[in-house]
Structure 1
């Protein structure tokens, strides 16, 4: 993501400098011939200046490079030339450009070309994504590196993950906290992208041309990630579990290549192209020390986590169009892609119960795409279209079983899972018509059908059995090899029919209206007997357990009757309307709204949801050169969900002094609401002081919140009268509101010194206040058991930015 934000040329200083501006010599107005010349000749611009940021904040300067307090250089330029401009008859042109040169979001570029013959360009840009400036850690190691160690004072057994009543764990909680605080350091977390590109094109003749693009991207820095680790038992056996949140390096290099051949004929065109992407990971793993140990053990284990694997992607594309007749046009395209990945596995030997059956994934995914669209306008009042799109992602990676220890190291949690090469095919059919009822009215009708199929080509079938070595004497009650045809997905296919209509009308010369409605019905074919890779058969996590221990009614990791929201059967209604009204010559008003209602057929999972949004903005030109605008946007989203708490096939859970009773088949209902509001006002003045001074002002307030509420659909209490809402549990009720408030004031001013020069001044004020209870669990002394604290804070800041620059046009 690239965000090129223009620097604010604000004039909070306008009152202070206005006297000086008025005193400056008045320049004569531009002559008409100068305005004509400006249209024929390119305008080049150079801007240089300075700006000052009052406070450091990673969130404020997330993409702009203004994350650190202090002064920065403003540098922008755009220079163009060539004999293609002016009164000459040339065809050559060139350009040089640069933006945000004083920040970490800088960009540079150059291009040269001969119109209708050839072109060549180069470019370079950077973008630093500033993520965290409140992250703290006792780990030692460079941000962006792949090796993290603990200081000697925190090596085991200083902290233990198995001692009762300790957070993050330790037989003496206070001393453990003191030991952590003594060696904790604040570390800025950011990821930097440096991108270089080359492009070229050659027109061979009036019909043929060749285009070429090459892009080289280098990424460095890191993003925070959770690193799970095993503790070591007294005999060196895995035991215990701990979590460290560490900078996961983004040491990547990606080369992308586009090569295209274009042909244009009489009523037809064809483009053939090749796209290649080559991703390389600089590290194959991250090494880190775990603080998790058994009380009886005095050892620390350096463990590893693998990084994103290197991979290659090749794709061939063909697209084109043909005019079947003056009224009928046909367009379409085909593509075939091949994605491969075969980096060697990285795994700690003690984490594997048995060696992996293969040394690498040998991953292969084939992507196919086809589309075609037919458009007809036999009548000037009616446009008809029909189209089809086909996409297939076919995963042909071999599937194998892998036997490894779960992180907690318990012998009851030996994992025996198969990798799942999930394939997906999607076909979309489209029919649409646009009928002009009269000169002021349009009616649009559209029908779409989407068919989706999911499957696995080969799912751990006829693979070498690991069961005898894993569990000596194992019988057929355990998982050895899936039988041919085993389904790997609980929602193997679905279809979605959608019918929509939109009416547009010009009610008068000053008023335009539109209203639309659509209905969508998605029907999913589900297979509750599917065997998902991380579950096995009917919830049996351990292949050594006898069949009698299986939890009846549970499969695919979900209780029967539960369907995830993204593939559950659903009916959706959507209504939208809008209006644009030029009430007077000076005042215009625009408004719009949208409402969506979803209902699901699931017994468990999401039951229904709705969302709505309204937009309103108005503009008033109170003079020839001055105007004011006001705007309001509000959005609301709500979902309701019911889930099973305890299987109806299990006996009720009895209450005790410290535990709530749980009836057999108990359920709970959850409601989540999201609300966002933005309101603002802006103004612009120009033509002041003999058309030399321009001012802009904008004030915006944004507020967003999320509310989460859970209700038990049964009476639950301990034997001492505590309920789910009691502080000891807090498993029901309304959680604290997650919210953020942002106030922003922007002021800018530009004063024209002469026909080529002007000065710009700017001021930006931005205040953000946010609260999120999630961060409470990351504070030292309050983390969940076996989590190393990071002391990260929900973003809050107040920043002032003042800028001044000189702009020269020529």
Structure 2
């Protein structure tokens, strides 16, 4: 944000100044500013076969021919510095977007934009359920004929915004957005007794956003006052289900996500105390509400006390102050303090009496979730001799939560975490820079509360299971992290970057049996290399590897305990090449591969043996080739070829059948080719 006087230069004057400053290097760039070039690209593409994964978000999900159309229009009135731009991408596909922007630099601007984002469900449902996509479903009797059904969702967003410099350092910005979301997604009703039935959720909602900002800027002070508001309106209030298992028929209607809204007022800014010291601040208040009317005609437990809606309300107060300073040339200091109070003001009422008694683990009341968070940061960085720079810092996070008298899992109302870090960076020579950082964190908190535990020996064994395990986000934890990076430029045309990070977590257990999460590890390596073979040929390559794992122990009863190791390993690599083999030809290639594997190894500690779950992998390889041929100075032909291979051993749905007979399937091997040709015309 800058004062109006600094932004109101005509573009032609700015361009002339740049030409004078860089007469030998910037002719093409300045020509593009003074004489902007527009373009239109029209063509056709062909997808060789149905491609649920390949076209999940682009719309290229079915075999066939697609229209390709891109527009980029730019016009400049040099006398006034007024721009008119229009951009349209993927206009022939379901993933199209458009933007119209009109602005006078340093004075005013406005825009309209439109975006479509599809999502095609990669699993095909073979089902006899009818009414999918509507709030009224029918589940036929057993033995009905199944038919394939492809679920999808689509978002359509329309936006508008404008900005205006008001003079004397003031400016205003307003942005509006309306998004319509339609379709269906996987959902089910039921439980393990008697069963689950396939009941896809209908999607038909509207989300609106407004963002208004009033700003002020001078040499020392920059400040913004803003309002941000949202509203969510679900046009389907309930899912009505006819037929199905007699034991599940009481589960109709089923309430769908309710309407909600939020409002935020904020004041943010910064102040330059001196040329080397700057402060920042933020004050914000948000009120979020959910007071949509409850479903009518739904049987409730006798004696409950709720009124016609939840009356949900969350008030959030945020405050932040920070300062950065360089008191002497070799020393930099940073300090920051943040406070957030999320106060859940939802009324506490009795919603059910089913099973509520002095011997249960719940009370039938809703549980408010308030949390106060305080964060502090101090950091110092000092430049040492021999091109060394050492940085040290401390971070502190304190969270206080409310608690209810009756809980399902262990609970503590306060946690504190302190992290100490120290790092060293050095430019070892003109072309080599390296850094290494070590971070040590300790988290602990207030004593754990003792839960109400009367679920009976049949379910909980010794009736103490709910007090044996500390939840992941509340448990004591020690974390050690080591991060290192290396940048090398051995020659002007080559650069190499390497980054690695390793983390180890140790969790304190509440019992000698060490139930719950015990420890975790992660390791990441990445290497990027780019090389310019000549003025006509450039290449790059990258590889990364990520490994995470966690060990834990659980039990069903006092004589049936087991341990497990859960891991996720991801490997990926890629190469790219750009070149100009002939005067009129440009070519390019990108090859990428990723392989992600999840494993869950289990073994018995006491009691009968347990069987580990099978591993789960997902692999994808994509090859992209393109070439552009210049027909003339302002026209060219572009040819694209994409080969995509997807493979998975997804067993989660492959062995599952809903009670009504519905199955969800995807092809474990998906190979698809895309070929496209586009004519590109450029004009001024």
TM-score after normalising by structure 1: 0.76
Is 1:522 the counterpart of 2:443 in the alignment? yes
Q: Could you tell me how far 1:112 is from its partner in structure 2?
A: 1.0
* Residue deviations 1:623-681 (CA, integer Å, cap 9, x gap): 3311332221111111100123324xxxxxxxxxxxxxxx3xx4211101111111222
* Residue deviations 1:285-309 (CA, integer Å, cap 9, x gap): 0111352236xxxx96682111111
Q: Could you tell me how far 1:322 is from its partner in structure 2?
A: 1.3
Q: Could you tell me how far 1:69 is from its partner in structure 2?
A: 1.4
Match of 1:533 in 2: none
Select the residue among 99, 103, 110 that pairs with 1:120: 110
Aligned equivalents of 1:760, 1:626: Cα separation in 2: 18
Is 1:74 the counterpart of 2:23 in the alignment? no
Match of 1:359 in 2: 308
Match of 2:203 in 1: 250
Q: Could you tell me how far 1:570 is from its partner in structure 2?
A: 0.3
Is 1:705 the counterpart of 2:573 in the alignment? no
Select the residue among 237, 261, 285 that pairs with 1:284: 237
Q: Could you tell me how far 1:353 is from its partner in structure 2?
A: 5.1
What secondary structure, in the 3-state scheme, does the structure 2 residue paired with 1:775 have?
coil
Superposed, 1:782-797 pairs within 5 Å as: 786=659, 788-793=661-666, 796-797=669-670
Select the residue among 415, 422, 442 that pairs with 1:501: 422
Superposed, 1:257-336 pairs within 5 Å as: 257-293=210-246, 303-336=252-285
8 Å contact from structure 2 (residues 266, 283) kept in 1: yes
Superposed, 1:97-246 pairs within 5 Å as: 97-143=87-133, 145-151=134-140, 154=141, 158=142, 179-180=143-144, 182=145, 184-228=146-190, 241-246=194-199
Aligned equivalents of 2:432, 2:462: Cα separation in 1: 59
What secondary structure, in the 3-state scheme, does the structure 2 residue paired with 1:251 have?
strand
What secondary structure, in the 3-state scheme, does the structure 2 residue paired with 1:595 have?
strand
Is 1:758 the counterpart of 2:652 in the alignment? no
Aligned equivalents of 1:32, 1:497: Cα separation in 2: 51
Aligned equivalents of 1:77, 1:138: Cα separation in 2: 44
What secondary structure, in the 3-state scheme, does the structure 2 residue paired with 1:772 have?
coil
Is 1:37 the counterpart of 2:31 in the alignment? yes
Q: Could you tell me how far 1:229 is from its partner in structure 2?
A: 7.3
Q: Could you tell me how far 1:415 is from its partner in structure 2?
A: 8.0
Aligned equivalents of 2:556, 2:506: Cα separation in 1: 22
8 Å contact from structure 2 (residues 125, 662) kept in 1: no
Cα RMSD (Å) of the superposition?
Answer: 2.7
Aligned equivalents of 2:384, 2:492: Cα separation in 1: 29
Is 1:685 the counterpart of 2:605 in the alignment? no
Aligned equivalents of 1:223, 1:391: Cα separation in 2: 35
What secondary structure, in the 3-state scheme, does the structure 2 residue paired with 1:74 have?
strand
What secondary structure, in the 3-state scheme, does the structure 2 residue paired with 1:277 have?
strand
Q: Is the deviation greater in 207-216 or in 794-803? A: 794-803
Select the residue among 380, 389, 402 that pairs with 1:433: 380
Q: Could you tell me how far 1:334 is from its partner in structure 2?
A: 0.4
What secondary structure, in the 3-state scheme, does the structure 2 residue paired with 1:752 have?
strand
Superposed, 1:227-626 pairs within 5 Å as: 227-228=189-190, 241-293=194-246, 303-346=252-295, 349-350=298-299, 352=301, 357-403=306-352, 417-438=364-385, 440-456=387-403, 490-530=411-451, 537-540=452-455, 554=463, 558-602=465-509, 603-626=514-537
Aligned equivalents of 1:132, 1:740: Cα separation in 2: 13
Q: Could you tell me how far 1:48 is from its partner in structure 2?
A: 0.9
Q: Could you tell me how far 1:265 is from its partner in structure 2?
A: 2.5
Distance 1:590 1:357, change over 3 A: closer
8 Å contact from structure 2 (residues 374, 399) kept in 1: yes
Match of 2:557 in 1: 646
8 Å contact from structure 2 (residues 410, 467) kept in 1: no
Match of 1:802 in 2: 675
Aligned equivalents of 1:583, 1:554: Cα separation in 2: 66
Match of 1:16 in 2: none
Q: Could you tell me how far 1:281 is from its partner in structure 2?
A: 0.8
Match of 1:636 in 2: 547
Q: Which has the higher contact order (CA 8 A, sep 6+)?
A: 1
Determine which structure has the larger strand proportion and give its number.
Answer: 2
Q: Is the deviation greater in 54-63 or in 424-433? A: 54-63
* Residue deviations 1:326-363 (CA, integer Å, cap 9, x gap): 32211100000111111122276446455653221111
Distance 1:132 1:741, change over 3 A: closer
Match of 2:83 in 1: 93
8 Å contact from structure 1 (residues 385, 433) kept in 2: yes
Distance 1:372 1:33, change over 3 A: closer
Is 1:669 the counterpart of 2:669 in the alignment? no
* Residue deviations 1:735-757 (CA, integer Å, cap 9, x gap): 21100121211101111222211
8 Å contact from structure 2 (residues 477, 508) kept in 1: yes
TM-score after normalising by structure 2: 0.90
Q: Could you tell me how far 1:194 is from its partner in structure 2?
A: 0.5
Aligned equivalents of 1:610, 1:77: Cα separation in 2: 48
Q: Could you tell me how far 1:495 is from its partner in structure 2?
A: 0.4
Aligned equivalents of 1:119, 1:113: Cα separation in 2: 4
8 Å contact from structure 1 (residues 229, 303) kept in 2: no
Higher Cα radius of gyration: 1
Q: Unpaired runs of 5+ in structure 2?
A: 1-24
Q: Could you tell me how far 1:95 is from its partner in structure 2?
A: 0.8
What secondary structure, in the 3-state scheme, does the structure 2 residue paired with 1:777 have?
coil
What secondary structure, in the 3-state scheme, does the structure 2 residue paired with 1:559 have?
helix
